[in-house]
Amino acid sequence: MTMRDRLRAGVGAALREAGVSEAAEFSVERPRRASLGDWSSNAALTCASSAGTAPRRLAEQIAASMRADPPAHVEAVEVAGPGFVNFRLAPSWLHEVLTEVVSATSDGYARSDVGAGRTVSVEFVSANPTGPLHAGHGRWAVYGDAVCRLLERGGYRVLREFYVNDRGGQIDRFAASLEQARSDSDSSESGGYRGDYIAEWAAEMPADADVRQWGLRRARHDQTETLDAMGVTFDLYTSEAELVARGAMDDILEELHRRGVVYKLDGALLLRSSDFGDAEDRVVVKSNGEPTYFLPDIAYHHEKFGRGDTVIDVLGADHHSYVPRMRAALAALGLDIDAYEARVGQVVNLRRGGESVRMGKRSGGMVLMSDLLDSVGADITRLVYLLQSIDTTLSIDLDALSAQSSENPVYYLQYAHARIRSLGRQAAARGVERVPLAEADLSVLCGERELDVLRTLADLPDITLSAMQARAPHQITAWARNHAATFHRFWHDCPILSSETDENLRQARLWLVEAARTGLAVALDILGVSAPERLAPVDEPAAEAASSR
RNA sequence: GCCCUCGUAGCUCAGUGGAUAGAGCAUCGGUCUCCUAAACCGUGUGCGCAGGUUCGAUUCCUGCCGGGGGCACCA
């Protein structure tokens, strides 16, 4: 039973004792400021009106009743502010947290079963197979993957999905560009693809190759390689061409007809999407008889509903208008629209020095994801993308990124982990052994530095749950930075192997850092950043850090 | 014009329907005979503007201003 559960039960009982029959929703939280106590409840505030009592007075009643029979570890119950009930706890509650973290290990701590094994289909990246991934795709690759990791920790089964738009006009243009680059390296057709890779790929292409097929394979291979390098793998790639070939698109078209949600106009077939919340009706079959991208896309989403209890699309703001359209199509098919969720994130703005670098395959001049990975590595790349909310425009200055890579926040986190691992090696070298946890006297951990570390650890399960529900992995990044800070402060002030440290305290601190390391490892795992055994000192040539992701 | 999104410290960003809004960077100044100083400590007049809902709004709603994105029988 967690501390929160105990307090919640206590407050609930106190409310009943105070004669509040219909208790409103109330929270039990860690207050922002430590001076207000270890835990706090707003129950008196939210229940006051239905109880017909003044908040402060109800709070006093709750406090009095809880003082009479306090939950474990509770030392003081106070009423403060407009009617908060605050709890001060003995450090023993944090020692309990330590034990909990260590026994759960990084695999089990901050894990929940809210997903109860339900399946979530998460589609992300889905870059067109017409070129390499650029730095803009990277944001969705890393974000999508981190969201999946959060969902997995929350007890969901996750399907990482990638949709390949390997048919249609863009592919025609891509093939034409390759063809032309092969025959004529000079001019390039307007509207075609102009990135440097076109010429390079054209040069690689065997003379007898089917340009279209070869180009698609080349692009997909390139993208997969880059994704692998950043630790992102997919469970399911769905080819639009194959989907059409096996009749899924025709089936959906038939279904749309049967439901009477399409109509002919000027030779084209339109979906009545405006009847389902979209701004206007959308063309699904062009007047030339060709389907738009939209039709197979509807078929694809229909399939995703078949394998996921929840279907999530991760897309950039440049595609946000697609959301009401897809939502309308799914509603038109009679699917449960609440199970569909689109996460729209802002674009990535790249700068080199002061100048902004334009993105887009057709304009050329893009920053390749593979180049970024080569220059700063996967860990920095991932953390940079996970530093802030996807609601903000992410600005990456490439020059600053490489120049300041040694000051990157990722090292702040990894160094904390490496320090603890280093301690283990030092301890072994000095013949210091850690006694079993059950034999350690944790009650000696009572300094503020020590308790602060445990307090942040206690928060991790809540943060993880919240980050998962909000699909906001940057909350984990923020927690990790805060946790690393409390750890570094502790480390600075609390020697462990020093001969001046009492043996009991040393043992307790050895377990404290193991708990701190475990929590950090959980966060790094969710972020997909490696938790290294050591970091190369900054002055020496970068040694390869042993890593366990 | 319409739609989406953002506006918090010099800069980059966290944050919350509540009780005194936080980090990092930058600046300046301190810490290694001591478990890696990629660390630690000190240094701060800020929620774009105006209404509304609420016991309480930086947070929710509306309008305005400003930045970004989108409004194809492209994907």
- Both A418 and A397 in one domain: the answer is no
Per-residue pLDDT at A547 exceeds 60: no
Per the structure, the count of domains in chain A is 3
- Both A417 and A380 in one domain: the answer is no
Q: Which residue has the tokens 């692009």?
A: A219
- Both A355 and A229 in one domain: the answer is yes
Last residue of a domain, one of A356, A380, A403: A403
Residues whose CB is less than 8 angstroms from the CB of residue A392 and which lie 6 or more positions away in sequence, other chains included:
A346
A393 C-beta less than 7 Å away from strand B:
yes
Contact status, residue A442 vs residue A95, Cβ threshold 8 Å = yes
Note the pLDDT of residue A548.
36
CA of A395 to C1' of B46 (A): 22
CA of A408 to C1' of B36 (A): 17
CA of A169 to C1' of B38 (A): 50
| Least confident stretch, A21-25, A124-128, A257-261, A306-310 | A21-25
Residues whose CB is less than 8 angstroms from the CB of residue A63 and which lie 6 or more positions away in sequence, other chains included:
A77, A78, A79, A85
Note the pLDDT of residue A126.
95
Nearest residue for B67, CA–C1': A393
Whether A308 is in a domain gets the answer no
A400 C-beta less than 7 Å away from strand B:
no
Contact status, residue A55 vs residue A83, Cβ threshold 8 Å = yes
CA of A417 to C1' of B56 (A): 42
- Both A350 and A466 in one domain: the answer is no
What are A312's two structure tokens? 């999530």
- Both A155 and A68 in one domain: the answer is no
CA of A310 to C1' of B25 (A): 40
Whether A133 is in a domain gets the answer yes
Nearest residue for B21, CA–C1': A32
pTM passes above 0.90:
yes
The domain containing residue A58 runs over which residues?
3-90
Bases on strand B under 7 Å from any protein CB: 2-6, 12-16, 18-20, 22-26, 34-41, 55, 67-75
| Interatomic CA distance for residues A73 and A7, integer angstroms | 10
- Both A374 and A508 in one domain: the answer is no
Nearest residue for B73, CA–C1': A286
Over range A364-379, report the average pLDDT: 86
A26 C-beta less than 7 Å away from strand B:
no
pLDDT confidence bin for A404, thresholds 50/70/90: confident
pLDDT confidence bin for A358, thresholds 50/70/90: low
Torsion of CA A515, A516, A521, A522, to 10 degrees: 70
Per-residue pLDDT at A541 exceeds 50: no
CA of A396 to C1' of B7 (A): 19
Cα dihedral A7, A13, A17, A23 sign: positive
Q: A362 or A89, which is more confident?
A: A89
pLDDT tens per residue across span A53-71: 888 999 999 999 999 999 9
Note the pLDDT of residue A314.
96
Whether A252 is in a domain gets the answer no
pLDDT tens per residue across span A266-294: 999 999 999 998 989 999 999 999 999 99
Residues 173-202 of chain A with CB under 7 A from strand B are none
A36 C-beta less than 7 Å away from strand B:
yes
Per-residue pLDDT at A191 exceeds 70: no
| Least confident stretch, A84-88, A332-336, A363-367 | A363-367
ipTM given for this complex: 0.95
Per-residue pLDDT at A361 exceeds 80: no
Residues 244-283 of chain A with CB under 7 A from strand B are 265-268, 279, 283
Nearest nucleotide by C1' from A415 CA?
A: B38
Q: A407 or A371, which is more confident?
A: A371
| Interatomic CA distance for residues A87 and A159, integer angstroms | 42
- Both A470 and A398 in one domain: the answer is no
Residues 146-165 of chain A with CB under 7 A from strand B are 165
- Both A154 and A239 in one domain: the answer is yes
Per-residue pLDDT at A28 exceeds 70: yes
Residues whose CB is less than 8 angstroms from the CB of residue A522 and which lie 6 or more positions away in sequence, other chains included:
A106, A109, A110, A460, A464
CA of A524 to C1' of B47 (A): 31
A456 C-beta less than 7 Å away from strand B:
no
CA of A81 to C1' of B18 (A): 9
What are A208's two structure tokens? 């007898």
Mean pLDDT of all residues in chain A? 91
pLDDT tens per residue across span A408-431: 899 999 999 999 999 999 999 999
Note the pLDDT of residue A539.
55
Q: A303 or A401, which is more confident?
A: A303
pLDDT confidence bin for A540, thresholds 50/70/90: very low
- Both A396 and A437 in one domain: the answer is no
pLDDT confidence bin for A206, thresholds 50/70/90: very high
Q: Work out the number of other CB atoms within 10 angstroms of the CB of residue A182.
A: 18
Per-residue pLDDT at A474 exceeds 60: yes
Nearest nucleotide by C1' from A506 CA?
A: B35
Per-residue pLDDT at A6 exceeds 80: yes
Note the pLDDT of residue A285.
96
Whether A111 is in a domain gets the answer no
- Both A355 and A374 in one domain: the answer is yes
A289 C-beta less than 7 Å away from strand B:
no
Q: What is the CATH number of the domain that holds A41?
A: 3.30.1360.70
CA of A2 to C1' of B23 (A): 28
Last residue of a domain, one of A33, A68, A90: A90
Note the pLDDT of residue A186.
54
pLDDT confidence bin for A212, thresholds 50/70/90: very high
Pairing relationship of beta strands A547-548 and A531-532 according to DSSP bridges: antiparallel
Phi, psi at residue A373, to the nearest 5°? -65, -40
Q: A24 or A442, which is more confident?
A: A442
- Both A86 and A178 in one domain: the answer is no
Note the pLDDT of residue A543.
35
pLDDT confidence bin for A549, thresholds 50/70/90: very low
CA of A22 to C1' of B53 (A): 24
- Both A212 and A356 in one domain: the answer is yes
Note the pLDDT of residue A208.
92
pLDDT tens per residue across span A136-165: 999 999 999 999 999 999 999 999 999 999
What are A76's two structure tokens? 């003081």
A352 C-beta less than 7 Å away from strand B:
no
